[in-house]
Each structure stands twice: as C-alpha cells, then as structure tokens.
C-alpha cells in the first residue's frame, strides 16, 4: 500500500489546502485521474489532534468554487461546524478560514466539505481526523484505511453530472471503483503476531459496505469514534454506511507468507476484494497471542436521563417506491423544488444555507430521545452534527454493546430510538449522509438554545 500521507502539526497548527491535483488509483499503466484534494492527495492528510488540546486548522480554498470544512463527529462549538450559511459564510476561492476548537473526545473522525458536497466529496475532498487518547493504547501499530468510492469513465476520469435525479431517488451515486487510502485493491503488509488498531473510515458518497476478514476475527472496539463494549461483528460482517467509522482490534494470527482477503459483500451478487492482509514470511513477532483485550478509555459523553427526556419522532419519507416517486411532483407537503426526500414532511435541500428554520428546538441540557422512522424503501445513514447519539433500540429490540454514533445506519422500514443530551448550543444539522439524499431533501435542523 502506498505510504499514507501524514502531516504533523506545527506550532501554528495545520494548514489544509483544498486544490485540484492528479491521482493514480491503480497500476502505473492505468490513466491518472483529475481529483480535488486536501494537501495534494486523496484522501487528504491525516490530521492528528490530541484529546482536550486546542487545535487550529487553517483551510485555504484554491478551488474555483466556494467550500467549507465540516469536522465530522467532533463535538465542537457551532461556529466551527462548517455548514455554509448556517454556521459560517462559505470560504470564497482564494480565501482562507481558521477553525479552532478543542476536541473533547478521542477517536476516529473525518473531515470533508459541506458545500456542493456531492461533487466536492465525489471528486476526492475527504481526510481522516484522529484524536489521540492522552494515554497511548497498547497496540503494535495504528493504521487508518480511508475508503473512497469513485465513478470513473473509461479514460480514468471522474464521470461528470453529479446529481442524477433518478439516482437521488434511489440508492444515490454508488461508484465503480473502490480505493483504500487512494489505491485500488493492493495489500497491506503485516507481521504474524502483531496486534493492530485498524481505523476504517467510509468516505464514500453512497456506498454501504459489509466487510469480512478472511481467516481473522476482528473485534469492534469503537464506532464513529466512540468506544463501545468490545465485540465481534454480527455474522462476521462489519456494516459501514457512508460517513461511518469503526475501530478494530485485529490480532494477526495467520500464517507467515500467506495472504488473506478482505471482502465487501454488501450488495447481493456484487462482492469484491477490497484489499488483502499480506503476511511477511518471517516467524511471528511473539510466541503467544496477546490475550489482554484492547480497552479504549471512554469519552466524556453526557449520559441522557431517559426518565426525564423529551421524545420526538423524525420520519424519513420519499424516494422511489414500488416503481413510483414518492414526493417530488408535489405528492408530499412541504417538498421544495427538486426534492425527492423529506423528514416529517419537510424537505431542506443542498448543503446548508442561511435562514433554515429548526424543526425542533431544545432547551440546553435537556435529555432527548429521537425516534427515527424510515418509511422509505432505501437505506439511510442519518448523521447528527455537534452531538453523538446513544442508540437504544432498533425495531423494538435493545441494542447491545453500548453504542454511541454520530451516523446511524437505517435499513428500509427500520425504527431506531436514540438518546442524547442537547448540551451544545446552536443550530445543528441532521441529515442523511448519502450525499444525493441530503442534497435532495433529507435534511433538517435541530436548535439547542
């Protein structure tokens, strides 16, 4: 695998430049691709911050259109959230914006634009953001896989025309080329006996993944940056919707010299090899496998008080159903022009703009239970800004393993209950992270006042 671009912070913080560049996803005989990058690479530089330490990130826009950066999953002050019109003016071409915040939680996060999101993310603007624990976690190596999904045409270029209405009403823009850290199906090298913390970020526009590790039993130790009770994935498949992250503790117990496939088989009949675990021929680095579990310290998330919480329902509506378009064409009240999706009958389009009226207003400090109801025939990874949701139940069954997520994947017809303390003042977006869905109406605003 290509050396992963890292960049350390200087005393005046990180500089992140959004600009066009060229990338090579595959073998040298394959054509290069014109992409948009953070600091010249896809994915962008890994930003490493420390929990509880103030961070300063200067974003410079060298694109020919407005942009902003959203620090996905970080509980930060509203003015630093990167939503154009709602939390800041967009960054004009040639201009910069300084983001400053202190990340309260350690874990695996990511950053991406929140302006013209479908195209900007689809052309490559995304990077991992890691907030380090104050005490290092006992692993031999800490690896990051940023997974991206591209729709390339025969010449290797990114297929144009983002925002196909029919696609937007269905699964969104699922591509034809999946990369790990910007490369197509290469192998990651390991030594037998190693214990690795593997952080996986699904940075795709719409592709949902179900990852299987041949010959290995990874343990899930965190979801969306938040530590959970360590557990093995259900049926051995790690389900990862767009924008979701998982931290795995991976013990390399395979045979020296062998290669093991990592498979994504989410879509029926379309399974493919994402990458391989390639073992060095040397003998194992330790005689016995490490048996102490990897334990991540919990983050200081406020525990919702369920007894006193207020309860609200957010119903996801629209899209193609039984051959017809629900909503759009005026079928659904409140659906604006070009909208195909709605939440509680209201559609907000685009990436964020001024004057978005909140659907719900919470008094600061209140515990809230959200009931998310997916009435559509499609999957939706629902993302909340500025907070993390404690997932309580799914379709009436309690969710095990203490699961905090900023992006909750909803299968068709799913009903999920999730709780949080509305403790972060400001106007916060809640939207589907399938970018075509967000752009075409599946978005709303929650106000904490």
Size of the site for ligand C2O (CB under 6 A): 10
* Torsion, Cα of 128, 132, 133, 136 (10° steps): 110
Min separation Cβ 111 and ligand C2O, Å: 9
Token pair in block for residue 347: 């559609």
Q: Interior CA angle at 162 toward 62 and 85, to 5°?
A: 55
Is 48 an interacting residue with respect to ligand C2O (CB under 6 A)?
Answer: no
432 binds, among ligand C2O, Cu ion, none (CB under 5 to 8 A by kind): Cu ion
Q: Please tell me whether residue 126 binds ligand C2O under the rule CB under 6 A.
A: no
Beginning with the edge strand found earlier in the chain, give each strand of the sheet holding 127-132 in spatial order: 44-50, 127-132, 107-113, 69-72
Pick from 75, 112, 245, 390: which binds ligand C2O (CB under 6 A)? Answer: 112
- Whose tokens are 């592709």? That residue is 207
Select the binding partner of residue 114 from Cu ion, ligand C2O, none (C-beta < 5 to 8 A, by kind): ligand C2O
With respect to Cu ion, which residue has the nearer C-beta, 199 or 380? 380
**Residue whose CB is less far from ligand C2O, 70 or 173:** 70
Tell whether residue 207 is a contact of ligand C2O (CB under 6 A): no
In sequence order, what are the residues at sequence separation of 6 or more whose Cβ sits closer than 8 angstroms to the Cβ of residue 46? 4, 5, 6, 7, 127, 128, 129, 130, 144
Name which of 367 and 438 has its Cβ closer to ligand C2O.
438
**Which run of H or of E encompasses 259?**
strand 259-264
380 scored as a contact of ligand C2O (CB under 6 A): no
> Residue 387: which of Cu ion, ligand C2O, none does it interact with, CB under 5 to 8 A by kind?
none
Determine, following the binding rule CB under 6 A, whether residue 114 of this chain makes contact with ligand C2O.
Answer: yes
Residue with smaller CB distance to ligand C2O, 148 or 275: 148
Q: Which option in ligand C2O, Cu ion, none does residue 431 bind, with CB closer than 5 to 8 A by kind?
A: ligand C2O
Whichever of 70 and 207 has its CB closer to ligand C2O, that residue is 70
Q: Is 429 in the site for ligand C2O (CB under 6 A)?
A: yes
* Closest distance to ligand C2O from the beta carbon of 215 (Å): 33
Helix (H) or strand (E) holding 118: helix 117-122
**Number of residues that make up the chain:** 449
CB of 383 to ligand C2O, least distance (A): 5
Between CA 115 and CA 236 the distance in angstroms is 36
**Residue 243 binds: one of Cu ion, ligand C2O, none (C-beta under 5 to 8 A by kind):** ligand C2O
State how beta strands 426-432 and 380-384 pair: antiparallel
If contact means CB under 5 to 8 A according to the sort of partner, which of ligand C2O, Cu ion, none does residue 434 touch? Cu ion
- CA–CA distance, 104 with 102 (Å, rounded to integer): 6
CA distance 17 to 58: 8
239: helix, strand or coil: strand
- What whole-number distance in Å separates Cα of residue 220 and Cα of residue 197? 10
Binding site for ligand C2O (CB under 6 A): 70, 72, 112, 114, 243, 383, 385, 429, 431, 433
């Amino acid at each position: 695998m290509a050396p992963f671009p890292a960049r350390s912070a200087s005393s005046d913080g990180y500089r992140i430049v959004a600009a066009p560049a060229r990338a090579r996803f595959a073998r040298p005989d394959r054509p290069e691709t014109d992409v948009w990058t953070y600091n010249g690479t896809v994915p962008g530089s890994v930003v490493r911050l420390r929990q509880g330490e103030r961070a300063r990130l200067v974003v410079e826009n060298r694109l020919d259109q407005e942009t902003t950066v959203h620090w996905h999953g970080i509980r930060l002050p509203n003015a630093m959230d990167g939503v154009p019109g709602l939390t800041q003016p967009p960054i004009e071409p040639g201009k910069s914006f300084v983001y400053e915040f202190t990340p309260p939680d350690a874990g695996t996060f990511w950053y991406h634009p929140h302006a013209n999101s479908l195209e900007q993310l689809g052309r490559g603007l995304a990077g991992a953001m890691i907030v380090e624990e104050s005490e290092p976690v006992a692993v031999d190596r800490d690896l990051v896989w940023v997974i991206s999904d591209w729709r390339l045409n025969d010449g290797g270029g990114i297929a144009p025309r983002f925002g196909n209405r029919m696609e937007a009403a269905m699964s969104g823009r699922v591509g034809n080329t999946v990369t790990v850290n910007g490369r197509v199906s290469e192998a990651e090298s390991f030594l037998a006996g190693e214990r690795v913390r593997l952080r996986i970020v699904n940075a795709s526009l719409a592709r949902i993944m179900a990852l299987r590790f041949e010959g290995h039993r990874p343990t899930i130790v965190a979801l969306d940056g938040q530590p959970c009770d360590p557990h093995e994935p259900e049926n051995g498949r790690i389900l990862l919707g767009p924008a979701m992250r998982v931290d795995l503790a991976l013990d390399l117990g395979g045979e020296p010299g062998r290669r093991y496939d990592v498979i994504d088989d989410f879509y029926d009949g379309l399974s493919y090899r994402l990458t391989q675990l390639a073992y060095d021929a040397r003998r194992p680095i330790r005689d016995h496998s490490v048996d102490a579990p990897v334990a991540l310290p919990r983050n200081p998330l406020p525990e919702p008080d369920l007894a006193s919480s207020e309860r609200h329902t957010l119903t996801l509506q629209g899209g193609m159903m039984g051959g017809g378009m629900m909503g759009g064409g005026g079928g659904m009240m409140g659906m604006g022009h070009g909208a195909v999706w709605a939440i509680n009958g209201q559609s907000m389009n685009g990436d964020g703009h001024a004057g978005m009226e909140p659907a719900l207003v919470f008094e600061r400090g209140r515990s809230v239970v959200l009931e998310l109801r997916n009435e559509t025939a499609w999957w939706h990874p629902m993302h909340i800004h500025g907070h993390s949701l404690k997932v309580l139940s799914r379709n009436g069954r309690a969710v095990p393993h203490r699961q905090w997520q900023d992006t909750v994947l909803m299968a068709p017809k799913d009903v999920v209950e999730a709780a949080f303390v509305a403790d972060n003042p400001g106007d916060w977006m809640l939207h589907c992270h399938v970018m075509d869905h967000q752009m075409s109406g599946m978005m709303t605003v929650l106000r904490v006042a």
